C-alpha cells in the first residue's frame, strides 16, 4: 500500500498522520507532500523519518491512495493528475463536493455508493459531516422536511493563522489577523466568503451537501454559520421538522445504536455535548434532545464534534479503509 498525503504538514495533514497511526492503517510506503518551502524537510510517522516529496515525485510513485488536505485550488489542479495514473484520491477540500460526477461520502451513511471507477472521492464539509451523522438515522425513520441549523465553529476550522490570531489576542500580542475582527472575547457571524444571496459559502455547503449525501432533495436546510473563540471542536444547534411524528425515547435509541454517535443527554446531571469532550475523539456527540413546542413533528438537538478528526481526517481515513476492505483500489 502506497499512500500519499497532500498537505502533510498542515493542521489536517498532521491529524491525518495521527489518525492513520492510531487506526494502524496498512502502509508500505508513505509519501508526504507539502508546499515548496517544505521540500526536503522530514516528518516522523510511527517512529520513522520520511522526507517531504514534491507533487510530481508523488505522482511518479503512482500511489494507491492520495488523501488531499491542501485547499481547493491545489485539489482542482493536481487531483486529476493523480487519478490519471490510477490513484484513488480522497479530497478534503470543497473542490469536488458538488461536482455531479463525484461521490460525497460519509462512510457510516453512504460508502456503499463507491465503486472502483471512483477515482476522486469528496470528503464533506466538517460541519456537514457531524450534522448528517445525527440526521441520517432520523431521516430514514421519520423523513425530514426542513432543517434550521446555527453553528458555533472553532477557529481551527480556519487554519493555523486563525488559531495564532486567537492565541495572540489572548496574550495581548499584536499579530497578523486571519479575520476582519478580533476573535478573542468575540463571536463572528461570518464563516468563509459571502455569496450573492447574502449567505456565506459555509452556510450554503450546509444547505447543499446533506441533500447529496442522503441522495434526497425533498428536504431543505437553512444555515447560519458563526465563528466562536474555541480552539477545537464545532457545535451546532439543529432544529429539524419531520413529516412523521416521533417518540423521544425512540430518537435516543436510534441515535444510540448508530455507529459513530455518542449520546450525552441528561439535564438532571448537566450532561450535554461540549467541545472539551469531543477534542481528540472520533465520535459525534448529540444531546439537548427535546421537542420544539411551537410546532408539530419538530425536534431540537445539539451536536458537537472534533472538526479536525471526524470533520476531516478521520472521515477520510474511514473512506480509505472502506476502499481497502471492499477491494476498490488498484492495490
Give 191-236 as a DSSP string. -S-B-TTS-BHHHHHHHHHHHHHTT--SSEEEEEEEE-S-SS-EEE
Beta partners for residue 257, in sequence order: none
Task: Give the residue among 114, 109, 112 at the shortest CA–CA distance from 131.
Answer: 109
pLDDT of residue 101: 97
Considering the candidates 126, 161, 180, 190, report the single residue annotated as catalytic. Answer: 126
Asked if residue 330 belongs to a domain, the reply is: no
Residues 84 and 140 placed together within one structural domain of the fold = no
Share of the chain above pLDDT 90, in %: 97
pLDDT of residue 130: 98
Asked if residue 273 belongs to a domain, the reply is: yes
Calculate mean pLDDT across residues 195-201: 98
Asked if residue 331 belongs to a domain, the reply is: no
Active site residue 161: no
- Predicted TM-score (pTM) of the model is 0.97
Considering the candidates 113, 180, 184, 234, report the single residue annotated as catalytic. Answer: 234
> How many domains is the chain partitioned into structurally?
2
Residues 195 and 223 placed together within one structural domain of the fold = yes
Cα 240 from Cα 135, distance rounded (Å): 9
Residues 7 and 105 placed together within one structural domain of the fold = yes
* CATH number for the domain that contains residue 212: 3.30.360.10
Residues 57 and 100 placed together within one structural domain of the fold = yes
Query: pLDDT for 16-46, tens place per residue?
Result: 999 999 999 999 999 999 987 788 789 999 9
Calculate mean pLDDT across residues 131-148: 98
Residues 141 and 105 placed together within one structural domain of the fold = no
Residues 296 and 318 placed together within one structural domain of the fold = no
Query: pLDDT for 78-89, tens place per residue?
Result: 999 999 999 999
pLDDT of residue 233: 97
Average pLDDT, the chain: 97
For residue 248, pLDDT beyond 70: yes
* CATH number for the domain that contains residue 319: 3.40.50.720
pLDDT of residue 268: 98
Cα 20 from Cα 128, distance rounded (Å): 22
Instruction: Count helices and strands (H / E) in the chain.
Output: 10, 14
Residues 221 and 253 placed together within one structural domain of the fold = yes
Query: pLDDT for 225-238, tens place per residue?
Result: 999 999 999 999 99
User: Rounded to whole angstroms, what are the CA distances from 154 to 127, 172, 204, 206?
Assistant: 11, 20, 18, 16
Active site residue 113: no
For residue 57, pLDDT beyond 80: yes
Domain around 83 = 2-124+312-325
Residues 304 and 274 sit within 8 Å (Cβ to Cβ): yes
Burial class (CB in 10 A: 0-12, 13-18, 19+), 40: exposed
E strand intervals along 243-283: 261-263
For residue 331, pLDDT beyond 80: no
Residues 204 and 191 placed together within one structural domain of the fold = yes
Residues 56 and 198 placed together within one structural domain of the fold = no
Query: In which element (H, E) is residue 66 found?
Result: strand 65-68
Residues 171 and 225 placed together within one structural domain of the fold = yes
Amino acid at each position: 500500500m502506497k499512500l500519499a498525503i497532500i498537505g502533510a504538514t498542515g493542521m489536517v495533514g498532521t491529524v491525518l498522520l495521527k489518525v492513520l497511526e492510531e487506526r494502524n492503517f496498512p502502509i508500505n510506503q508513505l509519501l508526504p507532500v507539502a508546499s515548496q518551502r517544505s521540500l526536503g524537510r522530514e516528518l516522523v510517522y510511527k517512529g520513522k523519518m520520511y522526507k517531504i516529496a514534491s507533487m510530481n515525485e508523488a505522482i511518479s510513485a503512482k500511489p494507491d491512495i492520495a488523501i488531499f488536505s491542501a485547499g481547493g485550488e491545489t485539489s482542482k489542479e493536481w487531483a486529476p493528475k493523480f487519478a490519471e495514473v490510477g490513484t484513488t484520491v480522497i479530497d478534503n477540500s470543497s473542490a469536488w463536493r458538488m461536482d455531479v460526477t463525484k461521490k460525497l461520502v460519509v462512510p457510516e451513511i453512504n460508502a456503499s455508493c463507491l465503486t472502483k471507477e471512483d477515482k476522486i472521492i469528496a470528503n464533506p464539509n466538517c460541519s456537514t459531516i457531524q450534522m448528517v451523522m445525527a440526521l441520517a438515522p432520523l431521516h430514514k425513520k421519520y423523513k425530514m422536511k426542513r432543517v434550521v441549523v446555527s453553528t458555533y465553529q472553532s477557529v481551527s476550522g480556519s487554519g493555523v493563522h486563525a488559531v495564532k490570531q486567537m492565541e495572540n489576542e489572548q496574550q495581548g500580542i499584536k499579530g497578523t489577523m486571519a479575520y476582519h475582527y478580533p476573535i478573542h472575547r468575540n463571536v463572528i457571524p461570518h464563516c468563509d466568503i459571502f455569496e450573492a444571496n447574502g449567505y456565506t459559502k459555509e452556510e450554503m455547503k450546509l444547505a447543499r451537501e446533506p441533500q447529496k449525501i442522503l441522495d434526497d432533495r425533498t428536504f431543505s436546510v437553512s444555515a447560519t454559520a458563526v465563528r466562536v473563540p474555541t480552539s477545537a471542536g464545532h457545535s451546532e444547534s439543529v432544529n429539524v421538522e419531520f413529516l412523521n411524528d416521533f417518540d423521544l425515547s425512540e430518537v435516543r435509541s436510534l441515535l444510540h445504536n448508530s455507529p459513530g454517535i455518542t449520546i450525552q443527554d441528561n439535564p438532571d446531571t448537566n450532561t450535554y455535548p461540549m467541545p472539551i469532550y469531543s477534542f481528540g475523539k472520533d465520535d459525534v456527540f448529540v444531546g439537548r434532545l427535546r421537542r420544539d413546542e411551537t410546532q408539530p413533528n419538530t425536534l431540537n438537538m445539539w451536536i458537537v464534534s472534533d472538526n479536525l478528526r471526524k470533520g476531516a481526517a478521520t472521515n477520510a481515513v474511514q473512506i480509505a479503509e472502506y476502499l481497502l476492505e471492499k477491494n476498490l483500489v488498484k492495490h
